[in-house]
Amino acid sequence: MRDLATGVGYLIKGQRWMAQHPRSWGFGMVPALITLVGYVAALIALGLWTDDAISWLTPFADDWGTPWLGLFRGALAVLFFGGCLLLALITFTAVTLLVGQPFYESLSERVDLSLDGHAPESGLPLWRELLIALRESTTVVIRVVLWGTLLFVAGFLPVIGQTAIPAIGFCIAGFFLTEELTAVALQRRRVPLAERLRLLRSRKLLVLGFGVPLTLLFLVPLAAVVVMPGAVAGATLLARDLLGEPTSQDPPASGDTALGTGIPGGPGPHGPDPMGPR
């Protein structure tokens, strides 16, 4: 249970870090806002066409009497839309990170610098990083689709389908949401997807403590836009924890005022702050 509380704590610390850096927060919301507009339009269209799609997929039920026809297709519509919403939650993060890749990577570096004055770098050109991120995100989305299909089928089970299955769905969404967010810091450390998944599975309560509350927040209109930058900052702390790196600021060294105060605005060992002065 301690790991669960720690995961929630990293989510809160990430938001607090961004609140102390409002300029970065504002820039970080732009990619999320652009992505959100597209997703809202797609979900509205999906909502308008769900009933027609379910009717087309279940022609065998056309002759069923009331109330069975309405109950059957209504349950399918809810499960179908819920599965699409689960997929949207995961892919929203992946797409937002791809759209805002340069910013979020710099943001993650700043969090690292504020802790110990060191920000690992992948050493890869931007196009290569984007290609790797796209490939690995596609792999994650495929896994989510498979899980979503399994949960969709399990949703037909009496009682369990309406109670336990939605809870399991939130846990799965939280796990993969955390994977996408920690990937920003872990890819800079050249940690491949298979190893990232192994690390996350080794600390499931830590991951769920971070990811499940974030999943619930993402269901609130516009909340995803506001919390996304802080989620990246918090995920960087979580990634450091998984690798055994310090997650709190080291005591300031003599004369090191910029990093010693926790403000990543000083030059540090990797040159000037990539986000520029605040």
Identify the pLDDT of residue 24: 78
Q: What is the pLDDT of residue 249?
A: 66
Average pLDDT, the chain: 81
Give the pLDDT of residue 250. Answer: 52
Sign of CA dihedral 220, 94, 235, 243: positive
- Residue 267 clears pLDDT 80, i.e. is over it: no
29 token code pair: 């919301």
| 126 pLDDT above the threshold of 80 | no
pTM assigned to the model: 0.74
If one compares 106 and 66, the residue with the highest pLDDT of the two is 106
Q: Pick the range with the lowest mean pLDDT from 37-41, 183-187, 226-230.
A: 37-41
Identify the CA nearest to 259 among candidates 120, 119, 117: 117
Residue 109 has pLDDT above 70, yes or no: yes
Where do the structural domains in the chain lie, given as residue ranges? 2-244
- Both ends of the chain: CA-CA distance in Å? 38
Q: How far apart are CA 228 and CA 214, in angstroms?
A: 9
| pLDDT tier at 133, thresholds 50, 70, 90 | confident
pLDDT of residue 40: 85
Give the per-residue pLDDT at 155: 74
Q: Using a pLDDT cut of 90, give the percent of the chain over it.
A: 28
pLDDT of residue 15: 94
pLDDT-based confidence at residue 148 (cuts at 50, 70, 90): confident
Query: Residue 81's CB: how many other CB atoms inside 10 A?
Result: 16
- pLDDT tens per residue, range 28-64: 888 888 888 888 888 888 878 878 878 887 788 777 8
pLDDT (average), residues 162-190: 89
Q: Average pLDDT, stretch 222-229?
A: 88
Evaluate if residue 12 carries a pLDDT over 50: yes
Please report the DSSP string for 115-180 in residue order. Answer: HHS--------HHHHHHHHHHHHHHHHHHHHHHHHHHHHHTTSTTGGGTHHHHHHHHHHHHHHHHH
User: What's the pLDDT score for residue 261?
Assistant: 34
- Rounded Cα distance, 99 and 39, in Å: 14
